[in-house]
Amino acid sequence: MKELIKNLFYRIKINKAYLITYLILMPMFIFFAVYFTNSISYQMQIGLIGDVKLNIEDQNINLISLDEIPKDSEFLLNKYDVVIKYENETYEIISVKGEDYEQQIMNYLQGNIVESKEVTRGAASNILGFLMMIIGLLGVQLYLFYFEERKGVNKRIMSTSINFPKYMLSHFLVTFLFLFLPAMIIICSAIFIFNIDILISIPSLIFVIFLLTFFSSAFGLWMNSVSKTQETAMSFGNMFAIIGSIICGGFIAVTDNKIFNNITNFFPQKQIMLLLENLENNLPINIFGIIFILVLSLFLILMAIIIEKKMISKR
């Protein structure tokens, strides 16, 4: 197994395309992800028509004076969250986000500041929430050698004393290392460089990164082992990474539909977000969530080994 891993490293070293992918492109994407999320601020855009007097000093709210009601498409493209029109001493609220939302704004205008029930979402959630998608994408994409070997090299490797678990595990480990190390180094250094105020300790942050990369690599291994071609693996892997991150609240909180929440609880991404949320708010940690992620990852690796064993003669 040591030899196999060494061999994979050697192949990364001698091939220019792979070297660029592993050492430049990948860390670059991770860096961008951290950099972008760090500059994200969810600003509410409020358009004002007429003589609206609002004493709002809030960084998260941007007030824009308008002459007339914006076109429908501007609402849809989220140029304005809401437009407040003041005429004949009454406020009119215009938005496309429904009555509940408008009522909230109305309450706010009348001075009833609603205590927000939401738990705080800190920098760590934001950074890792977006990184979850990127790591998910890369986790599937990085099994380059696995597909390269499918054309016959793998059979030759299998005919030596190396067995299937060792073979698959060495692929898994290389991918895992190339996800975990850059992600950890980049996030930790970004926290120091940009002076980001994360609400959780560095060791627990590293542990969450470990969970995330461990699962992504395991999922990638499984996805690649069941797919016929790398293209197929990538298409489905990409979809899972993007949709999974969105529905599990990687970017913003989504619907509070109960049935739906119960379903997404089975997504490891959701468990990671919950873990982060609890850590940031100093709530007790759900140990089952962590165990669930680890067990699921191990299960996926095991499945990948079994599938590889069964399919190798057919490919």
Partner 1 sequence: MIALLKHDFKNLMKGSGNIAVFFFFPTLITLLMGFLFSNSYTSSLLSSYDFYGVTMIFFIAMMGATVPANLFLEKNIKNANTRIFYSPVSRVAVYLSKILTCFLFIGFALTLNLIIFHSISLVNFGGSNIIYVILLLLNFVLFLCSLSAAITVTVKSEIITNIIISNSVSFLAIFSGIFLPVASLGAFIDTISNVSPIKWVMTTVFELIYDGSSPNYGIIMIGLLILSFLLLLIVHKKYKPEDYV
* Min dist. Cβ of residue 64 to partner 1 (A): 10
What span, in angstroms and rounded, lies between the C-alpha atoms of 134 and 300?
Answer: 20
**Residue given tokens 């998910």 in the structure block:** 136
What is the token pair recorded at 248?
A: 């599990």
The helix (run of H) or strand (run of E) holding residue 136 is helix 123-141
**Distance in Å, CB of 235 to partner 1, minimum:** 4
Question: Which residue lies nearer to partner 1 by CB, 238 or 278?
Answer: 238
C-alpha of 137 from chain center: 9
- Residue carrying the six token digits 């105020």: 197
Q: Which is nearer to partner 1, 40 or 181 (CB)?
A: 40
- Contact partners, residue 278, CB within 8 Å, separation at least 6: 284, 285, 286
- The distance of closest approach from Cβ of residue 207 to partner 1 in the complex, given in angstroms and rounded to an integer, is 25
The 10 Å CB-count burial string (b at 16+, else e) for 209-236 is bebbbbbbbbbbbbbbbebeebeebbee
Are the C-beta atoms of 143 and 226 separated by less than 8 Å?
Answer: no
Cβ neighbours for 276, distance < 8 A, ≥ 6 positions apart: 122, 124, 125, 128, 129, 200, 208
What one-character DSSP code corresponds to residue 161?
Answer: T
Please report how close the Cβ of residue 242 comes to partner 1 at its closest, in angstroms: 6
* Enclosing H/E stretch for 62: strand 61-66
Query: Which CB, 157 or 254, lies closer to partner 1?
Result: 254
- Contacts with partner 1 by CB under 8 A lie at 17-18, 20-21, 25-26, 29, 32-33, 36, 39-45, 62, 71-73, 75-81, 95-101, 130, 133-134, 137-138, 141, 144, 151, 227-229, 231-236, 238-239, 241-243, 246-247, 251-252, 254-256, 260
What are φ and ψ of residue 204, in 5° steps? -70, -30
Query: Nearest approach, Cβ of 172 to partner 1 (angstroms)?
Result: 19
- Residue (151 or 156) nearer to partner 1, CB: 151
> Between 29 and 108, whose beta carbon lies closer to partner 1?
29
Which structure tokens are listed for 100?
A: 């509940």
Extract the tokens encoding 189.
């250094």
The nearest distance, CB 296 to partner 1, in angstroms, is 21
Between 179 and 279, name the residue whose CB sits nearer to partner 1: 179
Q: What does DSSP assign to residue 312? A: T
Q: Which is nearer to partner 1, 109 or 243 (CB)?
A: 243
Give the residue with the Cβ less far from partner 1, 144 or 212. Answer: 144
249: how many CB neighbours lie within 10 A of its CB?
22
Shortest Å, Cβ 182 to partner 1: 14
Q: How far is the CB of 1 from partner 1 (least distance, A)?
A: 25
| CA-derived radius of gyration, the chain | 24
